[in-house]
Every structure is written in structure tokens, then in C-alpha cells.
Amino acid sequence: MSDKVLALKDYGVLQLLFNRPEKKNAFDRETYLALIAALDAARSDDAVRAVVFAGAGGDFTAGNDLADFRDFLERPGDFPALAFVKTLAAFEKPMIAAVAGDAVGVGTTMLFHCDLVYASPDARLRMPFIDLGLVPEAGASLLVPQRMGMARASQYLLLGDGFSGAEAHALGLVNALAPSESVLEMAMAAAEKLAAKPPAALMASRRLMRGDPADILARIDAEAALFAKALASPTTRQRLAAFFARPK
């Protein structure tokens, strides 16, 4: 396990802590690969009955490290972000998120794959894909309209407006709110309740509620094809170049 993702297993719960606080826990290639490996191991580990995602240092995650986009343009090949979101979509055990601070890009879209989400009222969620000349990912083009309706989906995906944890609670994306210092505790308490339930009944009920993941996986693949094409476009190249040219 990379030190960019800290794993703690106890009481049937695997806690995965994003650990790049100096980068607001942005996901780079190493982070994605560590998360995929942890979820793959959890899938076959009977001692793990629920997974909790959280971020160190006051932020959930600032999303994909934009330096990875630059690296992808220079060395096209496997892009672990795609494998990660497909792993989330196919994961069969309950997933819970504890969200505080920034939750940008995949930091928001991954929440639509979680069974329970807890957040601080002032958490900052945003899906700014179009602003970079990109398209939504992680099945967001399907899941956001389903969960929030087309009007809100247009506001948050097309306009790219941000929204708070309190707004996400009102929209039904977040189950409950807590101060930022208490969000992880709330998420862990819920995860431990799930872990104490009969696992076969829990997983079967989850499958019935979610249905066949084939539609979501197909949408993720369709988004990924357009995402890769957009990533190589002059518009996105210019916007990324402008980002890296900004004073630090």
C-alpha cells in the first residue's frame, strides 16, 4: 500500500484515507493504483464488510492531479483513473464516504457510487470537467441526472457550479451532516452498523437495490472514450497549459 493511501481495518470496516494533504489529496497514478489494489483485496476478504473513504488534512480530494493529464498526453497508455471508477461501479460491498473540505471532480463523482455519504455543511463539491474542455466521468452523465434530476445535473455538470455539503444533503446525495472534525466518526459508526449485519443478506439487498451494473459500466466506457479524445484536443491542451503557467 502506498503512503498516499493509508489503510486501517477494524471491526469489519476497511478505512481508506487519502493521504496527500499538501496537494489537497489529489489523486495521481500511484494513488489510483493503491486504491484499486485495496478494493480488489477487500472484495475477496471476508473480514471486510464495508469500506470507508476519507481524506487527511481537512479535504476529501481535489480530484485528479492535473499533472497526470500532462503525463498522459506525453505518454499515452493505461490511465488508472478509468480502472478505479470501474472498480467502484462493480464493487459489491457497501461503501461509505466522509466528506469535508474540497471534493472536486472524481471527488464528487465517486460519491454517486457510495451507499452512504456523510459531509460537513461547508464541504465544497464541484464537477468542473467542461471548464477544462473535458466531459464527465465515472458514469456521472448517467448517475447525476438520475439522482438529482436534469435541471440540477445541467447546473452542476454543464455550468460547472459548485455546491456545498448542506446543498448536497438537501439534494439527497448526502445522508447526514456533521462538523468537519466529526464527519469521519459518523461515517465509521454507520460502517460498523453495516458490518455487523448478516453479510449475505446485506450484499444481496444491495444488488437488488442497484440492479445490473452493466449500464453504468457501459456509460463509463463511453465517457472514457470521449474523455481521452477531449484530453488530446487543442482546447484542453491550452487550458491545462494555462493552469500550469499560473503563479504558485
Question: What's the pLDDT tens digit per position in 30-44?
Answer: 999 999 999 999 999
Residue 207 lies in a domain: no
List, in sequence order, every residue forming a beta bridge with 8; answer none if it has no partner. Answer: 15
Distances (CA, A) of 16 to 110, 111, 134, 139, 149: 14, 14, 28, 22, 30
What value does the mean pLDDT take over residues 194-203? 97
Residue 9 lies in a domain: yes
Residue 224 lies in a domain: no
Residue 223 lies in a domain: no
Residue 65 lies in a domain: yes
What integer pLDDT is reported at residue 233 of this predicted model? Answer: 85
- Please write the tens of the pLDDT for every residue from 102-133: 999 999 999 999 999 999 999 999 999 999 88
Residue 106 lies in a domain: yes
pLDDT band, very low/low/confident/very high, at 71 (cuts 50, 70, 90):
low
CATH number of the domain where residue 164 is located: 3.90.226.10
46-60, 63-77, 179-193: least confidently modelled range: 63-77
| Counted domains in the chain | 1
Residue 49 lies in a domain: yes
Give the structural domain span for 60: 5-200
Residue 225 lies in a domain: no
Top-confidence residue, 67 or 27: 27
pLDDT at 237 over 60: yes
